[in-house]
């Protein structure tokens, strides 16, 4: 077992060639009879990924394996038994996800944490899914940082995707302070101004019962709105257990407009044949007014196409809302299930 041969911290360089394997071994594992897919956790060595741990999906089981530096053979860390078969999404040996749904989502999340803790106890790795950080990491770093605006020396412009804008991001805590669009610096105050953000907007506008309030739906093609979504998404990362940035190339969003300001948003995408709610966030000054529930209700009514939709690691603030809506809509509407993706990780050390 894992604990039998990793009893104390090891020097990474000394054991590297014994303990880290190449793409050939990943492909070999993937092609083994009965294996649905393999998710690697890996270290980049001389610009080449070498995997340290592999999660192997077989029907209703997922097994975490690593390589014994003593025998050079794969050994089992732990096997997770599932209620339902996992779903594997793959575009290559280093780009495979194992997806868990419903009650298995929590099992998968806890399984991943147990394996991560086993690895952390022997190596000084930071283990976070690509593109994601834990809220504790983000809060801790930002509490210590002194950045305030787009004009700070530590805040730099960076291109994001192929959009016509650039993001001003602190190079220390990674907080977004604004965007550059058309050669001009756009601060959060203007980004959240609905009149500015919606200039020339041609998407869906959804009327709701509240006077002067409305929703808009965007597919990520309107640069002003996407800039606002980057700031909202960045803020939500401080409250979600794990959260990734809004991706205008993959996700759509529904925004709540109140009193002429962008107050919050809901984002989702549609991998394969299901829909996943990625983020639900309302700015602190706009809370306790029912905006989150309005976003979810109208999304369900207008944009949910299936009997079930999936929640990407909801936080403790949103779980009661989804549970209440599930009870209300159980007999005549879509209901939610939690979703968890076990993803490849480039281990940092």
User: Residues 261-267: what's their mean pLDDT?
Assistant: 96
Asked whether 224 and 193 are in contact (CB, 8 A), the reply is no
Output 302 or 274, whichever has higher pLDDT.
302
pLDDT value for 297? 94
pLDDT value for 242? 58
Assess whether pLDDT exceeds 60 at residue 7: no
Q: Does residue 256 belong to any structural domain of this protein?
A: yes
| Closest C-alpha to 299, from 275, 323, 283, 282 | 275
Q: Does residue 267 belong to any structural domain of this protein?
A: yes
Domain termination site, one of 84, 101, 127: 127
Q: Does residue 194 belong to any structural domain of this protein?
A: yes
pLDDT value for 16? 46
Count other C-beta atoms under 10 Å from residue 99's C-beta: 23
Q: Does residue 65 belong to any structural domain of this protein?
A: yes
Q: What is the CATH number of the domain that holds 156?
A: 3.40.630
Instruction: Indicate the pairing of strand 308-312 with strand 261-269.
Output: unpaired
Q: Does residue 345 belong to any structural domain of this protein?
A: no
Q: Does residue 343 belong to any structural domain of this protein?
A: no
Considering the domain architecture, whether residues 221 and 288 belong to the same structural domain is answered as yes
Q: How far apart are CA 95 and CA 83, in angstroms?
A: 25
Considering the domain architecture, whether residues 10 and 67 belong to the same structural domain is answered as yes
Structure token pair of residue 89: 């999404």
Considering the domain architecture, whether residues 123 and 137 belong to the same structural domain is answered as no
Mind spelling out the 3-state secondary structure of 84-152? CCCEEEECCCCCEEEEEECHHHHHHHHHHHHHHHHHHCCCCCECCCCCEEEHHHHHHHHHHCCCCCCCC
pTM as predicted: 0.78
Q: How far apart are CA 266 and CA 199, in angstroms?
A: 21
List pLDDT tens digits, range 110-119.
Answer: 999 899 888 7
pLDDT value for 10? 41
Q: Does residue 341 belong to any structural domain of this protein?
A: no
Q: How far apart are CA 322 and CA 270, in angstroms?
A: 19
Supply the range of the domain harboring residue 281: 133-305
SS3 120: helix
List pLDDT tens digits, range 45-84.
Answer: 777 777 778 899 999 999 998 877 667 677 888 999 999 9
List pLDDT tens digits, range 297-348.
Answer: 999 999 998 899 999 878 878 889 999 999 998 888 899 999 888 988 877 6
Considering the domain architecture, whether residues 65 and 200 belong to the same structural domain is answered as no
Percentage, residues of the chain above pLDDT 90: 46
| Closest C-alpha to 190, from 203, 200, 179, 174 | 179
Output the average pLDDT for the chain. 84
Considering the domain architecture, whether residues 34 and 67 belong to the same structural domain is answered as yes
pLDDT value for 271? 75
Q: How far apart are CA 262 and CA 230, in angstroms?
A: 12
Percentage, residues of the chain above pLDDT 70: 86
pLDDT bucket at 190, cuts 50 / 70 / 90: very high
pLDDT value for 133? 53
pLDDT value for 287? 94
Q: Does residue 327 belong to any structural domain of this protein?
A: no
- Number of domains composing the chain: 2
């Amino acid at each position: 077992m894992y604990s039998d041969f990793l009893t104390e911290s090891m020097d990474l360089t000394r054991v590297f060639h014994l303990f880290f394997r190449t793409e050939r071994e990943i492909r070999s594992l993937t092609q083994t009879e009965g294996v649905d897919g393999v998710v690697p956790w890996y270290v980049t060595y001389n610009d080449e990924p070498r995997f340290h741990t592999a999660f192997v999906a077989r029907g209703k089981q997922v097994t975490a394996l690593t390589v014994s530096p003593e025998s050079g053979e794969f050994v089992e860390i732990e096997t997770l038994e599932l209620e339902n078969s996992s779903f594997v999404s793959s575009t290559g040996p280093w780009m495979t996800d194992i997806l868990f749904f419903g009650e298995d989502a929590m099992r998968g999340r806890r399984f991943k944490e147990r394996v991560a803790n086993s690895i952390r106890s022997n190596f000084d790795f930071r283990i976070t899914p690509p593109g994601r950080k834990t809220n504790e990491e983000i809060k801790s770093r930002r509490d210590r940082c002194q950045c305030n605006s787009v004009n700070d020396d530590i805040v730099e412009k960076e291109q994001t995707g192929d959009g016509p804008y650039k993001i001003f991001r602190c190079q220390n805590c990674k907080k977004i302070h604004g965007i550059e669009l058309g050669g001009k610096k756009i601060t959060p105050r203007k980004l959240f101004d609905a009149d500015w953000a919606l200039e020339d907007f041609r998407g869906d506008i959804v009327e709701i019962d509240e006077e002067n309030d409305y929703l808009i739906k965007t597919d990520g093609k309107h640069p002003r709105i996407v800039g606002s979504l980057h700031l909202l998404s960045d803020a939500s990362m401080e409250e979600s257990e794990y959260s990734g940035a809004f991706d205008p190339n993959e996700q759509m969003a529904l925004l709540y407009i109140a009193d002429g300001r962008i107050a919050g948003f809901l984002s989702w995408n549609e991998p394969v044949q299901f829909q996943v709610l990625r983020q639900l966030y309302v700015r602190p000054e706009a809370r306790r007014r029912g905006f989150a529930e309005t976003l979810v209700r109208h999304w369900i009514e207008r944009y949910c196409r299936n009997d079930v939709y999936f929640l990407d690691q909801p936080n403790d603030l949103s779980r009661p809302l989804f549970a209440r809506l599930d009870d209300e809509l159980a007999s005549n509407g879509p209901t939610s299930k939690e979703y968890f993706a076990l993803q490849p990780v480039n281990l940092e050390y």
